[in-house]
Structure 1
Amino acid sequence: MSFVQTLELDQIFNLAEGVLWISIASVFLFRLRHMQQNRDLSIASVIAFALFGVSDFIEVSTRAWYQPLSLFILKACCVVTLVTVFILYSRRQKAK
């Protein structure tokens, strides 16, 4: 029996989410060298999306986004970072 056959549906979705978030982090990372404005926000986004992807991979084995507490804290920090990046980016765009 292969690894994929032993996974439940929620675990498969968590794997897919992890790949999605890390893919988004990769897009930000590859575009970073061509950016001159908002580099700080892009770097923060790369880190937050990548760590959020890693947290989904961890969630495959824990089967809960809130356990252990360190996983919950990691996810919360990523969400707060991404919301903060969005707010700062929006403010910078309005200021132009």
Structure 2
Amino acid sequence: MGFLEFIFGTKKRQVQEFLDNGAIILDVRTQREWENGHLENAMHIPLKDLNTRVDEVKKLKKPIITCCESGARSAKAAKFLNLNNIEATNGGGWIKLSRL
């Protein structure tokens, strides 16, 4: 097993574990990006709005998998959610996440 396969395999297992525990997928892309396509049943809160809507996420009482276009914004969102006592992981890009 190569290093990259190990890293991405670990991430895939973590995302699957979250899904198995009833996680909600949170798409943090812009409204325009969302309208151009998104995962079915995903929740949408743009990253710029997450700070003011964090209580909405807390009320879900579910683990969260964040996603965006490439994984950069979703990494920021997952970190922010974790700092706010919400179990979250970065799922990366939404298209790649859809292939799990």
Q: Check whether TM > 0.5.
A: no
User: Which has the larger Rg?
Assistant: 1
Q: Which has the higher helix share?
A: 1
TM-score relative to the length of structure 1: 0.32
Q: Compute the TM-score of the two structures, normalised by the length of structure 2.
A: 0.31
Higher-strand-fraction structure: 2
